[in-house]
Each structure stands twice: as C-alpha cells, then as structure tokens.
C-alpha cells in the first residue's frame, strides 16, 4: 500500500510521473510548467511547494519544488522515490562558483558532492559515503550541453547545511578543486542510492565566491533556462 498522500505532498498515487524535475523555488517550477509542459495539471500546493504533471514531447514528466537545504530536499525526494515510485529526479538550481574558470551563467553538472552534513549518519556505515550522480544521466547532460552549445563544467560540488558560514576553513574546498557550492545534492543522491533510483543535479552559477559577482533574484527566477533545457533533454 502506498503511503499517499504524504504529510508534504497531496497528490494521489499515480498523479506524479516517473521522472521529476525539481527546483528549490516554486516560482521556478511554475515557469518550467508553463514553458516546457503541455497540458500541465497541478498536483501539489501544500506549503506552496508547487508540483505539476504534463507531457514534454509526448513523454509524461512532473516538475516540483524542493525548498532550500539538504533537509528539505531529503523530505521531498524520499517521499517521491519511496511513496510515489518516482524513478528519476533531476534538480535544477543555482550555485556559487569556487573556481576562477567557472563563470556566472555557466552550468555545473554535479558528478559528486562533498558535504559537512551528517545526513549519512542514519545509515550506520563504517566510513563515509561518497554521494554520486547517476552516470548515465551525467553523461547525457554533458552531451546535451555540447549539442546546445552551453558552457558547462562537470565535477564535485560542496553542499552545506549552513548558508552564512563563519568557518574560514570552508575556503579549503576551493583548493581541492571543488567547482561550486550548493545546498541540496547530498540528500538527493543518498536517497536515490538507498532506494535504487537515479538522480542528477544541474546548477547555474548565480554568484562567484571569489570575485563577489552576483545575479539578481529576478534573474535567478526567470533567466536560468539553459539548465532546464538540459534537464528536459534527459526525459
């Protein structure tokens, strides 16, 4: 028996597609539904975390918000994977560059993620888990970027529970070649691994940690469409 609706998603079982493209900002989700989906039908309004199901080039796909941070992504992705039988989740979001060669507006495909979160502690592993993207999705995303002519980078990101961090050691992630900071990948990748599902994070660089450059909230909401093009190319 499916545990649906859940405390956070009011959809009935079967109303969500096997592939879900997620974004932290519900307004970005609304933009994706209007821009990419044919005949979108809303399936969730709980906490204003909007979710829609429609078709893209004849294929059934859903889009949904996940909020900010590892814990929020953990809740939504867990319920989608385990209660709604979602097979694939692709996150599209923003990130802060950690490298001088990774510029504003360029895409970062998170092949793996480093984190200071203790999310993995629940699994009682005799060591540290390395959260990784699904390789097939990662490769197809890179191929889509090549096809579209979009500037992209593939590699490690750093994901933290803390946005305003006072620990100066955080800068050491740059020395380890980490491309950018974001805040959701670990719980998504770990939930996918535990459930035997597929996941990928594609981000647009919204700000630069080293130079101080930044985009506006309006730009982040309305103009970061290249990552969406790539995500929908994977459906």
Q: Give yes or no for a contact between 84 and 13, defined as CB atoms under 8 angstroms apart.
A: yes
Tell me if 178 is assigned to some domain. Answer: yes
Q: How far apart are CA 109 and CA 139, in angstroms?
A: 10
Give the CA count within 13 Å in the CB-facing half-sphere of 188. 36
Query: Quick one: pLDDT at residue 220?
Result: 84
Q: What is the pLDDT of residue 59?
A: 98
Q: Domain range for residue 31?
A: 19-233
What residues are paired with 152 via a beta bridge? 107
Residue appearing with tokens 């459906």: 235
Distance CA 27, CA 217 (A): 11
Tell whether 11 is covered by a domain.
no
* Phi, psi of 110, deg, nearest 5: -85, 95
- On whether residue 6 sits in a domain, the answer given is no
Is residue 36, in this structure, part of any structural domain at all?
Answer: yes
8 within some domain: no
Does 75 fall in a domain?
Answer: yes
Residue 1 confidence (pLDDT) = 44
How many distinct structural domains can be found in the chain?
Answer: 1
Range 40-61 burial, b when 16+ CB lie within 10 A, else e: beebbeeeebbbbbbebeeeeb
pLDDT digits (tens, 9 = 90+) for 149-198: 999 999 999 999 889 988 888 899 999 999 999 999 999 999 999 999 99
Specify the CATH number for the domain of residue 212.
3.40.50.1580
Residues of the chain with pLDDT under 70: 1-2
pLDDT at 219: 85
Active site residues per annotation = 207
* DSSP letter (8 states) at residue 63: E
For the chain, give the mean pLDDT: 96
**CA dihedral over 76, 57, 111, 165, signed as positive or negative:** negative
Residue 147 domain flag: yes
């Amino acid at each position: 028996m499916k545990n649906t609706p859940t405390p956070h998603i009011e959809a009935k079982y079967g109303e969500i597609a096997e592939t879900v493209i997620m974004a932290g900002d519900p307004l970005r989700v609304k933009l994706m539904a209007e821009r990419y989906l044919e005949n979108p039908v809303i399936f969730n309004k709980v906490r204003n975390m909007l979710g829609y199901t429609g078709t893209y080039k004849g294929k059934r796909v859903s889009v949904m918000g996940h909020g900010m941070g590892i814990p929020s992504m953990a809740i939504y992705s867990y319920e989608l994977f385990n209660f709604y039988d979602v097979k694939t989740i692709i996150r599209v979001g923003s990130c802060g560059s950690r490298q001088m060669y990774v510029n504003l507006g360029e895409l970062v495909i998170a092949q793996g993620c480093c984190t200071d979160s203790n999310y993995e502690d629940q699994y009682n592993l005799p060591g540290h888990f390395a959260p990784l993207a699904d390789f097939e999705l990662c490769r197809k995303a890179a191929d889509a970027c090549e096809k579209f002519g979009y500037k992209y980078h593939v590699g490690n990101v750093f994901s933290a529970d803390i946005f305003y961090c006072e620990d100066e050691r955080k800068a050491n992630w740059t020395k380890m070649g980490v491309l950018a900071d974001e805040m959701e990948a670990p719980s998504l990748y770990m939930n996918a691994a535990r459930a035997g599902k597929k996941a990928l994070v594609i981000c647009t660089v919204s700000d630069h940690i080293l130079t101080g450059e930044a985009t506006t909230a309006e730009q982040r909401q309305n103009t970061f469409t290249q990552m969406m093009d790539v995500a929908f190319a994977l459906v």
